[in-house]
Amino acid sequence: MSAFVTQLKVRFGDVDPAGIVYFPKIYDYIHEAFEELWDEHVGARYYHLLLDREVGFPLVHSEVDFRRPLRFGDRPLVRVTCTKLGRSSLGLHYVFTVNDELCVDAHMTVVCVSLPGLKSRRIPDETRERFEAIMEGQ
């Protein structure tokens, strides 16, 4: 199965007094991986998609399992695959590992919308092809 892989850095400001990444920060990391996916795999900066093309992919559902805490200095690898490719919805699976140890297992569903107004729209064909390339089960 093909996947998009990126690496993140856990910085000092990302951890709480217990020395681990505070759980809402995981959502920031997921979004960082999402933006990298657009930039490096899809070939379109998410920023330009929003501002120039007026297309967005807001989050509509999330499931996150926290398996092992992330700590300051960790450099998690994030593996992203596509689990669903609907007319307007997109299911993405994010797996965070440190030294091959599973840390975070997240499933996110986003929906393609026109901006402004947030009206659902079909995922553009050129985008669809890039997500098909990282579909799970292939």
What is the per-residue pLDDT across 56-91, written as a single tens digit (0 to 9) for each?
999 999 999 999 999 999 999 999 999 999 999 999
Alpha helices (H) along 37-138? 46-51, 125-132
- pLDDT of amino acid 46: 93
- pLDDT of amino acid 126: 85
- pLDDT of amino acid 116: 87
The domain ranges of the chain are 4-132
Of the residues 16, 28, 52, 65, only one is catalytic, namely 16
Strand pairing category for 55-56 and 77-85: unpaired
The two structure tokens encoding residue 50: 């929003």
Residue 1 has pLDDT above 80, yes or no: no
CATH number for the domain whose boundaries are 4-132: 3.10.129.10
pTM score of the predicted model: 0.95
Please say if 100 is a catalytic residue.
Answer: no
The two structure tokens encoding residue 35: 């933006």
| pLDDT (mean) for 19-39 | 96
What is the per-residue pLDDT across 83-94, written as a single tens digit (0 to 9) for each?
999 999 999 999
> What is the pLDDT confidence band of residue 138, given thresholds at 50, 70 and 90?
low
| pLDDT (mean) for 96-122 | 97
